[in-house]
Structure formats: structure tokens, C-alpha cells
A and B are shown apart, each in its own frame.
Chain A
């Protein structure tokens, strides 16, 4: 065992010390974090720019109804100035000119003229405001025509927005607010992470075994240690590299998420305030009433994440990564020992890749119906359970299913290690012979 430790140490250190590993491990969460932070950051940057928009409104429909806000100001100009600006835009120092045509009620078209690309946000803001004003005008006309008292208020009262809250009964019969969307998102991410890790580190074992075989160093090493000790040390060493990476990623993501969370929280407050501002100017109190619900959304998401069994999710991720990795790594190690070249490896890899690919394919169906028979069987069968069970756990899985799945997986690992040891021992010294699956199965029954 002492020798396995020595091998394990070498396998671990050579990989962890690699530049590519360090860069990948540190950079990946930063890139992911950056991808979330950057757009938000840029968006808030834009918002802070002060812009004045010249409005030429021959219809007088929206005259003085377009309220300026903190960053976007509206300035009404007469026709003369409008004509002047159209020929010489630069003289006006405006961001854009908004032209409301006479027939806007019928055509529903307005124009915004600028010498630069008008930003999405500004376009949205202007569109929304004009829409609201015109809508108000039309409604007013209808109300005037019909003469029903308080019609406007009555119409406004029919506006509804419904939120269906999903509530999961907890173990103690206590109602816990849950979110299918969030469980699905977390299940998805966890499932993909499992797939990614099991595949990446499983293949790393295969490449390691092949490297030793093609470098012809393996015979020297197995004259000092038993082949099984070498394979064992390699699998555990590489597994630890994987655990190191997962741990660093988890810690960094939590750190970054906290950072991003406060950042986004800050930003969203501003937007909500802005929205309230708009609605207030339009005097539509009913819509404005929905705003507090929105403000609470982030909080609610956090609350719902809190309702998930986070320790169980993290524990199951580690458990299923370790076991799933050992299961697949022993297969990949066995394949690596049996082949001489990458091409041969590719062929033999297919049967071992299939269950992993299958898991990813059914992952979506499982996330949609986490209680169905497909989800159940896929989370018990050891070849798919490392991915499917981890994806199901955020939805809540009965304890007996988790225990059954874990026992089946542990038992399969014992079998796969035994098998890999047998194949490895024979394969590693077999050169210049193209092997197929049938041949490999025969090796299982060789005496050493």
C-alpha cells in the first residue's frame, strides 16, 4: 500500500502542478463569474450617461407628457428647429430627435433620428412611454364615447397578473415554498457537472495508462509494484485531482456568487425604482402595485434556494462524483491498458461512452418529470445514476431510493475494479495486437 501512496502522490502532484490545470481551475470560475457580472456592469454604466432627446410633436398628443428622468431628458422643439436639426444634427447637441407624425394614432409609427445607433434601452423606454400615452388617449376617447361612469377605473381593474406559487410539503408536513424552476436549474447544472467531471477525469485515467504503456515505462514499474497497485494509485491520484478542482470551483463560485449577488441586487433596485418612477408618472397605480412583488423576487429566489437541501446536494455531488468516477475510470483504465494507439482507444471507448451520453440525453426528460419511471430506473442503474440521481436530488428524492442507488453503485464499483485489475494486468504487457471486446472479455478469465 505504501507503494500505491507513492504512485498516488506522483499522479496527483504532476497533474496539479501543471500550468494548464492551475489556469483552468482558477480561470473557469472567473470567466463564468465575469460573464455574469460584465453585462450587468456595462448596463449600469450605460444608464449613468445623461442624454437629451429633442421631441418634435406637431400633434401635441404627447406634448409635455413625456417626463424626463434622471438620465434621459426630453426637450420639446418647434418645427423650425426640427428642420434645422434634420439637416445639421451636430449643431443641436441632442442624443436623438423624436418625431411624432400627425397620423400616429392610426399608423402607430414614430421616428427617432440620430447620427449613432440608438441604444436598446432608450428605444424601449421611448416606445413604452409613447405607447402608454397613446393607449391612454385612445381609452379616454372610448370612455368619452360610451359615457359609462368610472369606466376607465373599471377597465384598469380588469388587468390581472397571476403568480402560481408551488408549495412542497416538507418531511414534517410543513409547507415549504419551492420552485420547480430553481430545482430544475440546479439539477441541470449538477447533472452536467457530473457528466463533465466523470468524463474528463475518466479519460485522464485512460490517457495516463496509455502514456505509461506507449512510453514503455510500465514494465519497469510493475517489476517494483503489483499492476493493481499501479492502477489503484493512478485512479485515486487522478480522482483527488478532480476533487481538488471541484472544491476550488465550489469555493470560488460561492465567493463570486456572493460578490455578484450584491452587485446585481444593487443594480436591480435601481431598475425597479426607475420602473416605479415611470408608472407613477403615468398615474396607473394598479400596475405600480405589482412592483413590490418584483422587488421581492430576488429575495424569494434566495429563500427558495435556502429551502433546498443544500448539504444533501453537495454531499451527493461528492459521493456520486467519487463513485461514478471510480466506476468509469476503471473501465477507461482497462481500455487504456488494452490499446496501443488513440484510434484503437476510440473504438473501444464507444460502449463506455454510451451510458454517459444517454444520461445527458435523458437528463432533460428527467428534469421535467423527476418522479417518473425513467427517472427512477436511471437513478438506480449505476452507469447513469451518478448523473441522473444528482440531477434529481434538488427536486427531493425518497431516502430509500437514494440509499438503494448508492448501494447498487458501490457494489458495481467493486465489480468494475476487479474487472479492470484483471484486464489491466494482461493488457499492459500486450503490444502490437489489435484487440476487440471479445478478446478483452477473455482476459477476465486468465490466470496471472
Chain B
């Protein structure tokens, strides 16, 4: 009901002014458990995916990401737990509102590109007419009309990936799931797909995005969940997550003589690293207790000319490695 009302409001709200405040959860999983013979794939995992956002599903190989994705796609059923789509328990028809690009993906090699795209679109519930219209749009957009009558085996890997991307988004699903979408693409095509994903998001599509490529996570994800050894160990807005894992470390670049810092800084600060080269002098300073930035700056200002002063925010890569290693240690103990 809530969702229905939201959609009405959305229809009138062309500038997305009101809608911003009405964003709801398009998908929700509560305490999902999946066990295979001999091992647990997911133990009580819960995630909430907000509408019109990009949700990064992260985790090392074998953590249980693919199992979770397959559960969302209703390829496998969970042993226990609840799944909600647009606020109500998920139904089998909802798969037509979902587009899925698996990590291990392929096409029928002997089939022609156009025929195959049409077939896959029809399997997603599109009528032949709508599918043809929509395919024409995407083929023109990607400038691949010439491939229509070609067999898939004649295409390069990157070309086939483009076709697969189109067949994933062709039926305008509300929820898109991409598992490692950038493998096999050159930088130009990676960028093309990245922009497509962002545009889909702008148009209100929700995207669940699973990858090991942390720089792309930082670029396009709004929210992440990190799964390790079948458990969710981290969840949150990407900036908040990074904020949470910052270590109160600052990078200072300065000019002038290098003073004996340990004496001047006192017990509240610690110099982690000091690099001096011909062109630049740089150090990393860590706060040991809750001092303010200005306090450090005051001390430093008296010593030399400051060129730049900035807080080091951990990259998602750092966060990933830190959190997973920490978690693995805890599990071992």
C-alpha cells in the first residue's frame, strides 16, 4: 500500500523533490539462512536495499554472495528467513521485475545475436513487439545494430558482454543485479557500462552490485554490505562506513627545516611516517586521544610552513581487507 501511494506521488513529482523523502525499501531480506550439505552458505543474513540506490554486495570469494543473489532471483530458496519485494513478501512473478547479470554468463554460441536477445527478452515476459522496440533502442544506443544477424560465436568477449548487458536491462526491471559486471571489458566499455548503471539509477532503478573491484564500489555504490564466511559483518552507507574506519591519521606536507617532532608534539600525537625528498616533505601523524585538528595545526604552524593538511580517509579496499582479516582472526579464536 505504501508503495502504491509512493508511486502515485512519484508520478506527480517530476523533479524528485518530494520523492527524496519517500524513498522506500525495494528489497529486504530478514535472517536468511541457507545450508548446503557440509557447509553453511548464509547464516542469518539480513539486508535492506533502498529504492533508486546502488547497493554494493561485497565479500571474499566463497563468502556466500552468489547464494544470496540466487536467493533474491528465486533460483534457490532459503532454508529459513523472509524476503520482501516492494514491501510485501516476494512472489514468483517478481522475477520479471528483476534483471540479473550473473558472474559466469554466456549466450548460445550458434544463435544469432538479435534472435537471442529477443528470446531472452520474451522469457522475461516482454511481448515480441515491445521487445523488438526496446532492443532497437539499445542496439542503437550502443551502436551495435550491425551485429543483429551475426552469430554469437563471431563476437569478441567484450562484444558478447554488451549484448548480455542489454538483455539484462531490456525489460526495464525495478531491481537490477550485477555480479562482477566489468569483467571482460576494456576501460572504454567499462566506463560506458558504469555510466549506464548510474543513468539507470537516476531513472529510479535500484541496483545490487557485487564486485571485488573496490574502486568501482567507491565510484558508484551508495550503500554496502560485507559478507564473510556466511555472515554479514558490515553494513551501511559508504561514507559512514569509511568514516567509521578512519584512524584519526593526518597527512601533512610542509616546507622548511625538519624539526624534532617527537619533542614538539608531545604524548598526544604520534608520527607514523616521515618522508623527505628533494621536492617535498611529508609526514603522517596519528591522534592518540580525541584532540581536535586545530590543536595539531597550532603546534605544526609554529614549526614550519604548511603546504597541505588533510585527514586520511581509508579506501574501501583498506576497509575490506581490515574488516575481513579481523573477522577471520575472531573466527579462528
Instruction: Write the residues of chain A forming the contact surface with B, with a CB cutoff of 8 angstroms.
Output: 3, 6-7, 10, 14, 211-212, 215-217, 219-225, 429, 431, 442, 446-448
B60-90, CB < 8 A from A: 70, 73-77, 79
A217 touches B119 (CB 8 A): no
A224 touches B123 (CB 8 A): yes
Cβ–Cβ < 8 Å partners of A219 in chain B? 75, 100, 102, 104-105
Nearest-Cβ distance from residue B294 to partner chain A, whole angstroms: 55
Of B77, B95, B108, the residue contacting A217 (CB under 8 A) is B108
CA distance A217 to B76 in the complex (A): 17
CA distance A383 to B20 in the complex (A): 64
CA distance A221 to B164 in the complex (A): 12
CA distance A84 to B109 in the complex (A): 75
CA distance A220 to B109 in the complex (A): 15
CA distance A215 to B73 in the complex (A): 20
A447 touches B77 (CB 8 A): yes
B118-144, CB < 8 A from A: 119-120, 122-125
CA distance A220 to B111 in the complex (A): 16
Can you report 24 A-B residue pairs in the complex whose CB atoms are below 8 A from each other?
A6-B122, A211-B109, A212-B108, A215-B106, A216-B106, A217-B105, A219-B102, A219-B104, A219-B105, A220-B101, A220-B120, A220-B164, A223-B73, A223-B95, A223-B98, A223-B100, A223-B102, A224-B96, A224-B124, A224-B125, A429-B70, A429-B76, A431-B104, A447-B79
Cβ–Cβ < 8 Å partners of A224 in chain B? 95-96, 120, 123-125
Cβ–Cβ < 8 Å partners of B101 in chain A? 220
The answer to whether residues A216 and B37 also contact, given A3-B123, A224-B123, A225-B123 and a CB cut-off of 8 A, is no
Nearest-Cβ distance from residue A1 to partner chain B, whole angstroms: 13
A222 touches B75 (CB 8 A): yes
A6 touches B37 (CB 8 A): no
Cβ–Cβ < 8 Å partners of B102 in chain A? 216, 219-220, 223
Nearest-Cβ distance from residue A47 to partner chain B, whole angstroms: 51
Of A7, A10, A220, A225, the residue contacting B100 (CB under 8 A) is A220
Closest A residue, CB atoms, query B35: A447
Given contacts A6-B122, A14-B111, A220-B102, 5 further A-B contacts (CB under 8 A): A14-B110, A216-B102, A220-B167, A225-B123, A429-B70
Cβ–Cβ < 8 Å partners of A448 in chain B? 76-77
Taking each of A10, A211, A219, A448, which has the highest tally of chain B beta carbons within 10 Å of its own beta carbon? A219
A217 touches B37 (CB 8 A): no
Check: B220 CB closer than 8 A to any chain A CB.
Answer: no
CA distance A341 to B292 in the complex (A): 63
Instruction: Write the residues of chain B forming the contact surface with A, with a CB cutoff of 8 angstroms.
Output: 37, 70, 73-77, 79, 95-96, 98, 100-102, 104-111, 119-120, 122-125, 164, 167-168
Nearest-Cβ distance from residue A422 to partner chain B, whole angstroms: 13
B107 touches A217 (CB 8 A): yes
Nearest-Cβ distance from residue A204 to partner chain B, whole angstroms: 14
The 4 closest A-B pairs by CB, nearest first: A216-B106, A215-B106, A224-B123, A219-B102
Nearest-Cβ distance from residue A352 to partner chain B, whole angstroms: 24
CA distance A15 to B100 in the complex (A): 28
Nearest-Cβ distance from residue A212 to partner chain B, whole angstroms: 8
Cβ–Cβ < 8 Å partners of A446 in chain B? 37
CA distance A7 to B108 in the complex (A): 13
B109 touches A215 (CB 8 A): yes
Cβ–Cβ < 8 Å partners of A211 in chain B? 108-109
Closest B residue, CB atoms, query A7: B123
CA distance A219 to B105 in the complex (A): 7
Closest B residue, CB atoms, query A213: B106
Cβ–Cβ < 8 Å partners of A225 in chain B? 123
Cβ–Cβ < 8 Å partners of B124 in chain A? 224
Cβ–Cβ < 8 Å partners of B106 in chain A? 215-217
CA distance A170 to B244 in the complex (A): 93
Cβ–Cβ < 8 Å partners of A217 in chain B? 105-108
CA distance A204 to B95 in the complex (A): 30
Of A215, A223, A429, the residue contacting B108 (CB under 8 A) is A215
Nearest-Cβ distance from residue A10 to partner chain B, whole angstroms: 6
Nearest-Cβ distance from residue A189 to partner chain B, whole angstroms: 33
The answer to whether residues A216 and B75 also contact, given A223-B100, A224-B123 and a CB cut-off of 8 A, is no
Taking each of B100, B102, B110, which has the highest tally of chain A beta carbons within 10 Å of its own beta carbon? B102
CA distance A127 to B157 in the complex (A): 75
A221 touches B77 (CB 8 A): no
Cβ–Cβ < 8 Å partners of A442 in chain B? 37
CA distance A225 to B74 in the complex (A): 10
Nearest-Cβ distance from residue B155 to partner chain A, whole angstroms: 13
Closest B residue, CB atoms, query A217: B106
Cβ–Cβ < 8 Å partners of B120 in chain A? 220-221, 224
B75 touches A223 (CB 8 A): yes
Cβ–Cβ < 8 Å partners of B98 in chain A? 223
Nearest-Cβ distance from residue A9 to partner chain B, whole angstroms: 9
Nearest-Cβ distance from residue A440 to partner chain B, whole angstroms: 13
Of B100, B110, B119, the residue contacting A6 (CB under 8 A) is B119
Cβ–Cβ < 8 Å partners of A221 in chain B? 120, 123
CA distance A242 to B56 in the complex (A): 48
CA distance A253 to B185 in the complex (A): 54
B95 touches A216 (CB 8 A): no
B77 touches A216 (CB 8 A): no
CA distance A408 to B266 in the complex (A): 91
CA distance A3 to B119 in the complex (A): 10
Nearest-Cβ distance from residue A429 to partner chain B, whole angstroms: 7
Closest A residue, CB atoms, query B122: A6
CA distance A219 to B79 in the complex (A): 20
Closest B residue, CB atoms, query A428: B75
Nearest-Cβ distance from residue A227 to partner chain B, whole angstroms: 8
Nearest-Cβ distance from residue A14 to partner chain B, whole angstroms: 7
CA distance A219 to B102 in the complex (A): 7
CA distance A224 to B124 in the complex (A): 6
B119 touches A10 (CB 8 A): yes
Of A14, A215, A431, the residue contacting B107 (CB under 8 A) is A215
Nearest-Cβ distance from residue A434 to partner chain B, whole angstroms: 16
Cβ–Cβ < 8 Å partners of B104 in chain A? 216, 219, 431
Closest B residue, CB atoms, query A448: B77
CA distance A203 to B261 in the complex (A): 78
Cβ–Cβ < 8 Å partners of A220 in chain B? 100-102, 105, 120, 164, 167-168
B119 touches A429 (CB 8 A): no
Nearest-Cβ distance from residue B235 to partner chain A, whole angstroms: 25
Cβ–Cβ < 8 Å partners of B95 in chain A? 223-224
Nearest-Cβ distance from residue A219 to partner chain B, whole angstroms: 4
CA distance A211 to B107 in the complex (A): 10
CA distance A442 to B70 in the complex (A): 21
A429 touches B167 (CB 8 A): no
